[in-house]
A and B are shown apart, each in its own frame.
Chain A
Amino acid sequence: MHVRRTPSWALPEREVTPEALYLNRRAVLAAMAAVGASPAAASTDPEKLARIATRRTHDAGEPPTPLADVAGYNNFYEFGLDKGDPARNAGTLRPSPWTVRVGGLVKSPLTLDVDRYIARAPWEERIYRFRCVEGWSMVIPWVGVPFASLVRAVEPLGSAKYVAFRTLADREQMPGLRLPVLDWPYREGLRLDEAMHELTLLAVGVYGRRLPNQNGAPIRLVVPWKYGFKSVKSIVAIDFVETQPETSWNMATPREYGFYANVNPNVDHPRWSQARERRIGEFRRRETLLFNGYPEVAGLYAGMDLKRFF
C-alpha cells in the first residue's frame, strides 16, 4: 500500500493562494509601500537577513570568498547586466511569502512554502567551489539540503527522466526583464540522476543567513560541478519531465552553452579558453579542475563524449 506522507513544509491544497488573490498582493504591497513599510528593505543587505541554524557537512578546503563579493558581484540578468546591478536593483524582489510549485511526472505534487521550509528542514552548510562560465570563480558557504530529499518527497514516476526549473519572471519585481538578453523566464534543467546526486543542493542561504535577493532569494539550486548558469535562482516551478527540457542559455546560443555545462578545462567556450580561471581576490589565473574538482560525479557521464555533450 502506498502511504502518502506530506512533508511539513508542503502547503496543503486549501492553503495555496489562488493566483488572482496572489496577484492582488501587489495592491496590498503598494499600500504598504505608501506608508513606508517596505517588506524588501533589508533583503539586499546580507548582514540584515535572518540566520539559519546549520551543521557543516562539506568543506572545499579553501578560504571562502568574502561575503561582500559573494553578495556584490553577481550575474542575475533579471536585475541588470552589470555585475553590481543585482545588488543595486534586487531590492524590488519580494522573497517572502514565496511558493514553489513542484509537479509534472510525480506521484505526489506539492507546493512548497519557502518560509515554512526554512523553519523546518535540517539545514546543512556546504562550502562549494563556484565556477562561472565567464572564467571567474568563488568559494561559497551555502545553506541547503540535498535536492534529492525534495525528489524523494514528490516520488517521481518511472517516466520522469529530467527535472526542469523555472525562475520567477515578474516585470514588476525584476527590472531586467525589459531587456531582451534572454528569452524569459529563465529556465534550467538537469538529468534526473544529476538532480539526485548527493552534491546537488537546494539552497536557501549563504554565510549562515537567508539568501540575499541578488543571490537568488529565497530558494535556488547549486550544482557545484557545472558552470554557474546551471544553478538557477529564485525558483518558482520545478517539473519532472520525460525529455530534455529547454534551457535559457542553450536556447540563446546553443553553440556556446550546452545542456550539460560541466566545468571542463579541456572544452573551450568558443570565444575563450576554459583551461584557467580567476578566483575572486586573486590576480593570477589558476588551473580549472575537471568537474570543478568534484571527481565523484564522473560516473554520471561514463561513456559520454564530454566534448560533444558540453
Chain B
Amino acid sequence: MPQIPLLRAAAHGVMAMPLVLLLWGWAELLAWNPGSRMLTAEPVAYTHNALGLAALRALLASLSCTPLRRLTGWGGVMALRRLFGLWAFAYGAMHLLFFLFAELDWSLPALAAETAKRPFILAGMVAFLAMAPLAATSTAAAIRWLGARRWQALHRLAYVAGVAACVHFLLRVKGFQWEPWLYLGGLALLLLVRLVPRGRRALRTS
C-alpha cells in the first residue's frame, strides 16, 4: 500500500511537534530572546509538563491502534502502533531525565527517595519501567527471538503503562480537575473495546 509510508511520515511529524516546539522555545530563550514567554514564565515546569503530556498522548495513540483496526477493519493503522509506542517511550524518558536534571541534580538516590516517598512519582516510574522492555523488544528480530505469543504477552505491559501514566497525572493536579479524568476515561474506553468478542474479524477470515 503506497499510502503507508506517507501515513508514517505524517505520524512522525505529529509526534515530533511538541519536541520541536520545546527546542525552539529553549533556543529562543537562551540564544536571542531572554524575555521570551513562549515556554511561560516558568520554562522548567512547562517543559517538564509538556514532555509528560506528550508521552501520555503518544501512549494513548499507540493503544488506540488495535481498537481502530477493529472498528474500521483497516489494517493499515497497525503500521503506526510501534511508532507511537516508541515516541511514548522517548517522551517518557525525556520527562524522567529532565526531572532528574532540573529537580534532582542527577542524583539517583534522590530519585529513589522521591519514588519511595511520593505515590505520584511511583506511578510515573511504574509507567516508565513498564514501557522500557517494550521499547527494547520493538524490533522484528525481538519478535522472532521471543516468539509471537510470548512477545504479545509481554507487550500487554502497555496497558499497565497506560493506567500508571493516567494515575500519575491524576495524582499530580491540585483540586478536582477534569483533564486527567478525561485521559483515564479515554484509556478505559480503549481497554474495554478489547474485551468485545471479535465477531467481525472471525467472519471475514472464515
Chain A residues within 8 Å of B, Cβ to Cβ:
66, 68-69, 72-73, 77, 81, 83-84, 134, 136, 179-182, 249, 252-253, 270-272, 278, 280-281, 283, 285
**CB pair A84 B42 closer than 8 Å:** no
Question: Which residues of B149-184 are within 8 A (CB) of A?
Answer: 171-172, 174-179
**How far is A291 from B102 in the complex, measured between Cα atoms in Å?**
25
12 contacts between A and B (CB under 8 A): A66-B35, A69-B37, A73-B40, A179-B177, A180-B176, A181-B175, A182-B175, A182-B176, A271-B172, A278-B44, A278-B45, A285-B103
**How far is A280 from B40 in the complex, measured between Cα atoms in Å?**
10
Contacts of A281 in B (CB 8 A): 41
Question: B118 contacts the other chain (Cβ, under 8 Å)?
Answer: yes
**CB pair A280 B44 closer than 8 Å:** no
Q: Which residue of B lies closest to A180 (CB)?
A: B176
- Minimum distance in angstroms from A162 CB to a CB of chain B: 23
The 4 closest A-B pairs by CB, nearest first: A73-B41, A181-B175, A69-B41, A280-B41
Question: B120 contacts the other chain (Cβ, under 8 Å)?
Answer: yes
Contacts of A72 in B (CB 8 A): 37, 41
Contacts of B177 in A (CB 8 A): 81, 179, 181
Of A84, A252, A253, which is within 8 A of B40 by CB? A84
Number of interface residues of B (CB under 8 A): 19
**CB pair B44 A283 closer than 8 Å:** yes
Q: Which residue of A lies closest to B118 (CB)?
A: A271
**CB pair B41 A77 closer than 8 Å:** no
- Minimum distance in angstroms from B137 CB to a CB of chain A: 33
Q: Which residue of A lies closest to B171 (CB)?
A: A271
Q: Which residue of A lies closest to B173 (CB)?
A: A81
Interface string of B28-68 (1 = CB under 8 A from A): 00000001010011101100000000000000000000000
**How far is A179 from B41 in the complex, measured between Cα atoms in Å?**
24
Question: Which residues of B67-86 are within 8 A (CB) of A?
Answer: none
- In the complex, besides A83-B41, A249-B175, 4 extra interface pairs with C-beta distance below 8 angstroms are A72-B37, A73-B41, A81-B177, A272-B118
**How far is A42 from B147 in the complex, measured between Cα atoms in Å?**
67
Of A81, A270, A278, which is within 8 A of B42 by CB? A278
Contacts of A181 in B (CB 8 A): 174-177
Contacts of A69 in B (CB 8 A): 37, 41
Contacts of B44 in A (CB 8 A): 278, 283
**How far is A278 from B45 in the complex, measured between Cα atoms in Å?**
9
- Minimum distance in angstroms from A278 CB to a CB of chain B: 6
A83-B42 contact in complex given A72-B37, A271-B118, A271-B120, C-beta closer than 8 Å:
yes
Q: Which residue of B lies closest to A73 (CB)?
A: B41
- Minimum distance in angstroms from A261 CB to a CB of chain B: 13
**How far is A30 from B68 in the complex, measured between Cα atoms in Å?**
48
Q: Which residue of B lies closest to A136 (CB)?
A: B42
**How far is A83 from B37 in the complex, measured between Cα atoms in Å?**
12
Contacts of B37 in A (CB 8 A): 68-69, 72
- Minimum distance in angstroms from B70 CB to a CB of chain A: 35
**How far is A253 from B176 in the complex, measured between Cα atoms in Å?**
10
**CB pair B118 A77 closer than 8 Å:** no
- Minimum distance in angstroms from B109 CB to a CB of chain A: 14
Contacts of A81 in B (CB 8 A): 177, 179
**CB pair B175 A280 closer than 8 Å:** no
- Minimum distance in angstroms from B107 CB to a CB of chain A: 13
Of A179, A252, A285, which is within 8 A of B178 by CB? A179
**CB pair A77 B42 closer than 8 Å:** no
